[in-house]
Amino acid sequence: MAEVTNVEKQTRIRCSDEAFLEAVYSSKTYAEIATKTGQKVASTMARYARTKAALSKKGIELPSMERAKPTKTVDNVEAMAEIVRRLKAHNNG
């Protein structure tokens, strides 16, 4: 069962339009923008989408952004195979 935690009032990171656009033009990924502005990646993606839509109506295009590629450090296929073998042995025994 999931653990329920109560969160106190969250603080909001505010970033000016100028600082946000400077971060957009000097970044290639949403994560880079988030790091430069101090905002969460999800907030950055939403703001980027809103800003891009508003500026496209004025004929201004923002550079396209990419999501950061996840870094896979552990190959867990063999570990999962071992779990399946153990479970099968447990259920058959």
How far is residue 89 from each of residues 13, 80, 83, measured CA to CA in Å? 52, 14, 10
Percent share of the chain, pLDDT over 90: 56
**How do residues 11-70 score in pLDDT, each as one tens digit?**
778 889 999 999 999 999 999 999 999 999 999 999 999 999 999 999 999 999 988 777
Entry pTM: 0.64
DSSP 38: T
SS3 55: helix
**How do residues 56-88 score in pLDDT, each as one tens digit?**
999 999 999 988 777 766 677 888 888 999 998
pLDDT at 2: 46
DSSP H stretches of helix in 1-93:
17-25, 30-37, 41-56, 77-92
pLDDT at 13: 81
